[in-house]
């Protein structure tokens, strides 16, 4: 499970990500990312801008198009979430971003090691 402070949950943040974010495509995962330092005009008025820029929020989306079975969709989410949790512990992900991992149809039936390679490949493209 991702730490609560690193979860992308607010509708405001999702709208901001989809409006101003950039896609990075992989083999069976897409990454929609938004660098917070690039959009200072859209910072919430109630929050401190220094802490807002240095936050890292991550979301995972696996749609019905990937698999109609909820069991398989949840398995994909758990595997991606575990890779991200370990990357957060090792400080491999730089703060200051909103990240949304979106699974493609090809993600069904992949193993944990393949998700690990794909996530690290997408994260290396950020740097």
Question: Which of helix, strand or coil describes residue 46?
Answer: coil
Question: Per-domain residue ranges for the chain?
Answer: 4-126
Roughly what angle, to the nearest 10 degrees, separates helices 70-89 and 112-126? 50
Evaluate if residue 44 carries a pLDDT over 90: no
CATH architecture of 4-126: 2-Layer Sandwich (3.30)
Predicted pLDDT of residue 70: 97
For residues 25 and 2, give the distance between their C-alpha atoms in angstroms, rounded to a whole number. 23
- Predicted TM-score (pTM) of the model is 0.92
pLDDT in tens, 57-70: 999 999 999 999 99
**What are the start-end ranges of the H helices in the chain?**
11-20, 49-53, 70-89, 112-126
């Amino acid at each position: 499970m991702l730490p609560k402070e690193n979860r992308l949950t607010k509708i405001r943040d999702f709208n901001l990500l989809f409006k101003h974010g950039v896609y990075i495509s992989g083999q069976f995962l897409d990454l929609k990312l938004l660098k917070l330092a690039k959009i200072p005009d859209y910072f919430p008025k109630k929050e401190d801008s220094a802490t807002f820029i240095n936050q890292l929020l991550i979301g995972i989306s696996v749609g019905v198009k990937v698999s109609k079975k909820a069991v398989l969709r949840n398995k994909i989410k758990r595997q991606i979430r575990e890779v991200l949790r370990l990357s957060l512990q090792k400080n491999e992900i730089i703060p200051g971003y909103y990240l949304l991992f979106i699974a493609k149809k090809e993600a069904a039936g992949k193993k944990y090691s393949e998700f690990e390679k794909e996530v690290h490949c997408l994260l290396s493209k950020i740097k």
